[in-house]
A and B are shown apart, each in its own frame.
Chain A
């Protein structure tokens, strides 16, 4: 999470110090976003999720990896709130620890995708010409691959490690960011303050950092939120196929995969991690939708 937080903080500070008018609008935008019901509900859900995964070592009632064969496949009850899995491990604890993996992988991958995508998108949108054609045609090619497919191929060949997973997911999503950022930069650079800054001797780098970035900040946040949910889906999907997080590390995808073998005797085993994935992704989608309605300047008009 730290990565994303840093990334998000940076442009906002610049906005508050350099663009005088930006301060008030940023605050009112934030207030507008916070007053929408979907944003409140999903935000609360996500805060709960983040806090409980951060404190997983404290709040989870059992060790998520320690096997306990006498207690295997217990139904939900008092000592095991959500029951136990085929090795007698507490499902609730595993879901809480699994949340850490999902969120950490999602955050790292989104950070990579956002940094790469914003960099390429701003370059292409700002400079235009050859740089634009080169970058955007490359992105077009990259967009031709269904993400999960390339993910499977690369992780399958390069080795199943969390780091590989993060790198693959991050790179796969760079074009999505680049596309959106590119088109918004194109419209932002039409503004007269860009021209004014240029006329008063502002360098390209200065303009990009102080005028372009702060003005596409809202769009970056929306993209980060929407794609975060996607990342969690992909991580779960790849882990489900055995190509993501490796056992015994608890992960929602692997939990669903192994629970499928016990569907007949312990149907709940498959329901809990499925619910965890579904609720988390739903929360990210709701938050993204809500933020877009509240923040996107194209919709505000």
Chain B
């Protein structure tokens, strides 16, 4: 229920932000030298001469039915463009999240188990560094080192998977790494601090007293409870990642949602901009819902009404 209300709120904000912003779409379509009559004509054709609330309700009812309108520039349905470009962005995100989980959680466990020793210091420092380096800086530096100096990987571009899988993966590697590293830092810090919290609890002492091996204590008892906040932070980060892909796709010429968004903004293609933002924000809400549900499974004490 809350999710639905949030979606509705988000959709409304998307609509009004785009419409309230100065820069009349009709003027742009009609061209700079258009007469006022021509502009008025375009306005009428787009239904923009109707009262704002009529436009809003009309737009909203269409959105609910999955109709996001047509691009003002290409005339193609916005939905079609979204469906084409979405998987490419998702692919980037999923590989970045995988990387962050595979690197971040074990690193966090290591740091917590070897607290205040060399391992912890190294891992913690790297974590803070990963957190502070913006993904576009990491991306640019990666391209500099791996692409320009070592020439191991192509600097940028896109190749459909079914045409050349190896080249596709090669191109995927750097953008996912750039996106995943800063997230890995966050995941690591969270894993470390929650593991440290859990390791100080009474039931861990009990488990140790029972004669369980350190391994069993860490993985069977501590990790499960420590993972709840980690899963939450992964969800939050996944949302941030959606924003981060914008810059990364730009750097590596990856034709996902963001290139669509940036092109749409430069062309002032309002329906396309609305579509992309709505999709990304909707995905953000969905991710948070999934995180909540996952946490219910991990920790039976958490219940949602």
Contacts of A158 in B (CB 8 A): 21-23
Q: In the complex the two chains form, is A156's CB within 8 Å of B265's CB?
A: yes
Q: How large is the interface on B (under 10, 10 to 19, 20 to 34, 35 or more residues)?
A: 35 or more
Q: In the complex the two chains form, is B140's CB within 8 Å of A270's CB?
A: yes
| Interface residue from B132, B281, B284, B285 paired with A281 (Cβ < 8 Å) | B132
Contacts of A277 in B (CB 8 A): 134, 137
Q: In the complex the two chains form, is A271's CB within 8 Å of B6's CB?
A: no
| Interface residue from B17, B22, B129, B247 paired with A148 (Cβ < 8 Å) | B247
Contacts of A146 in B (CB 8 A): 239-240, 242-243, 280-281, 284
* Distance between Cα atoms of A267 and B148 in the complex (Å): 9
Which of A142, A153, A233 gathers most chain B CB within 10 Å?
Answer: A153
- Chain A residues numbered 23-77 whose CB sits less than 8 Å from any CB in chain B: none
* Distance between Cα atoms of A242 and B261 in the complex (Å): 14
Contacts of A240 in B (CB 8 A): 136, 247
Chain A 265-297 near chain B by CB (<8 Å), digits 1 or 0: 001001100100110011001100100000000
| Interface residue from B6, B144, B243, B265 paired with A263 (Cβ < 8 Å) | B144
**A134 at interface, CB cutoff 8 A:** no
The binding surface of chain B is classed by DSSP as helix
**B153 at interface, CB cutoff 8 A:** no
Q: In the complex the two chains form, is A154's CB within 8 Å of B21's CB?
A: yes
**A81 at interface, CB cutoff 8 A:** no
Q: In the complex the two chains form, is A148's CB within 8 Å of B246's CB?
A: yes
Name the residue on B nearest A151 (C-beta).
B243
**A198 at interface, CB cutoff 8 A:** no
**A2 at interface, CB cutoff 8 A:** no
Least distance between A177 CB and chain B CB atoms (Å): 17
Chain B 226-270 near chain A by CB (<8 Å), digits 1 or 0: 000000000000011011101100110000000001100110100
**A195 at interface, CB cutoff 8 A:** no
Q: In the complex the two chains form, is A156's CB within 8 Å of B266's CB?
A: yes
Least distance between A216 CB and chain B CB atoms (Å): 23
Contacts of B265 in A (CB 8 A): 152-153, 156-157
Q: In the complex the two chains form, is A236's CB within 8 Å of B134's CB?
A: yes
Q: In the complex the two chains form, is B247's CB within 8 Å of A285's CB?
A: no
| Interface residue from A142, A229, A241, A281 paired with B247 (Cβ < 8 Å) | A241
| Interface residue from A137, A149, A281 paired with B246 (Cβ < 8 Å) | A149
Q: In the complex the two chains form, is A149's CB within 8 Å of B23's CB?
A: no
Contacts of B17 in A (CB 8 A): 150, 153-154
* Distance between Cα atoms of A121 and B9 in the complex (Å): 20
Contacts of A286 in B (CB 8 A): 128
Name the residue on B nearest A285 (C-beta).
B132
Name the residue on A nearest B136 (C-beta).
A240
| Interface residue from B13, B131, B251, B284 paired with A285 (Cβ < 8 Å) | B131
**A247 at interface, CB cutoff 8 A:** no
Contacts of B246 in A (CB 8 A): 148-149, 152, 241
Q: In the complex the two chains form, is B140's CB within 8 Å of A144's CB?
A: no
Least distance between A42 CB and chain B CB atoms (Å): 11
Least distance between B243 CB and chain A CB atoms (Å): 3
Contacts of A241 in B (CB 8 A): 246-247, 250, 262
- Chain A residues numbered 128-155 whose CB sits less than 8 Å from any CB in chain B: 137-138, 140-142, 144-150, 152-154
Q: In the complex the two chains form, is A263's CB within 8 Å of B148's CB?
A: yes
Contacts of B128 in A (CB 8 A): 282, 285-286, 289
* Distance between Cα atoms of A263 and B265 in the complex (Å): 28
* Distance between Cα atoms of A55 and B285 in the complex (Å): 45
Name the residue on B nearest A146 (C-beta).
B243
**B223 at interface, CB cutoff 8 A:** no
Q: A145-B13, A150-B277, A241-B262 are in contact. Are A274 and B137 (CB under 8 A)?
A: yes
A-B contacts, 14 of them at CB < 8 A, read A141-B13, A144-B281, A145-B277, A145-B284, A146-B239, A146-B242, A146-B284, A149-B261, A156-B262, A158-B21, A241-B247, A271-B141, A274-B141, A277-B134
Closest 8 CB pairs of A and B: A146-B243, A156-B265, A141-B9, A282-B132, A148-B243, A157-B21, A274-B137, A281-B132
**Residues of B at under 8 Å CB distance from A?**
5-6, 9-10, 13, 17-18, 21-23, 128-129, 131-134, 136-137, 140-141, 143-144, 148-149, 239-240, 242-244, 246-247, 250-251, 261-262, 265-266, 268, 273, 277, 280-281, 284-285
Known: A150-B17, A153-B17, A271-B141. 7 other contacts (CB 8 A): A140-B6, A142-B13, A144-B284, A153-B265, A156-B265, A159-B22, A263-B140
